[in-house]
Amino acid sequence: MHDQAAKAARFLALHQGERPLLLANAWDAGSAKLLAWLGFEALATTSSGSAASLGRPDYGVSRDEALAHCAALVVATELPVSADLENGFAEDPAGVAETVRLAGELGLAGCSIEDWSSAHRCLYGAHTAAERVAAAAEAAHSGPARMVLTARAENYLRGNRDLDDTIARLQAFQEAGADVLYAPALDSPEHVRRLLAARRSQSSPTWASGACPSAARLRWPHTERRSGPGGNCSTTARTASMSSPPWAPRRRARRSAESSALRRVRTIAG
């Protein structure tokens, strides 16, 4: 429990450093070990990558399978691991809370909940989405360790480029208790600036992005995390490991991995 609490605290602190946290997605225990060797400071699971490793499409794993996958990554490395829990594998807030509670028993440092229903192929209503985040936050923060909860507003990832609605959802998620606010696929610099301008105070939660248009933009003000890639992470890891000879410093290998990630302008993070 102490180790989990320390990892969770470390994971949150990594969001608050001078450089944005580049969060790499591992799709199995082997990739987790490789990414740790490359020098990444924290890992996340990826629903698409995990499903692909089983020969299935995204959202093709059950809650039990996803939790087993999370447990395998936690024991594979000493790094903090955050779990992509999709929509919590439940439609109702109580079910979301139960999933987060079970995830908290695995030694995870954090987890994410999204406002997209894969079963109904639609976004939850804004009020329902906020209720689900509130339930997840209560479960994440009252378990054996205070897990870092990421709340995802999926508008842009689902083809609905409604910035005002995205901002309103993220602000509601903040009020519901989320530690990290995440709008995957929001890749327009102007939209990112407008979203960050809506940040309500310096004590607001971390703002994360799944878009990495260029290394120069990696330091967008007040954007403390870059996530990804998800399903393409195997390419990134292979590129890094194969392009660096055995005697090359790990820092060089990590830079190669980061460069590969940054070249992917539109990748799905998890």
**Class of 2-262 in CATH:** alpha beta
Give the pLDDT of residue 196: 82
Residues 252, 239: Cα–Cα separation, whole Å: 12
* 126-175 tens-digit pLDDT: 999 999 999 999 999 998 899 999 999 999 999 999 999 999 999 999 99
pLDDT higher than 90, residue 176: yes
Range 3-25 average pLDDT: 91
| Minimum mean pLDDT range among 60-69, 154-163, 213-222, 225-234 | 213-222
* 47-57 tens-digit pLDDT: 999 999 999 99
- Cβ neighbours of residue 73 closer than 8 Å, sequence gap 6 or more: 26, 28, 29, 32, 43, 45, 81
**Start-end of H helices in the chain:** 2-14, 29-38, 47-53, 63-76, 93-104, 126-141, 163-176, 189-197, 233-243, 250-262
**Tokens 């890094």 correspond to what residue?**
240
Band (115; pLDDT cuts 50, 70, 90): very high
| Minimum mean pLDDT range among 22-26, 66-70, 163-167, 246-250 | 246-250
Give the pLDDT of residue 130: 98
Give the pLDDT of residue 32: 97
Q: Is the model more confident about 134 or about 270?
A: 134
Report residue 256 as tokens.
């190669």
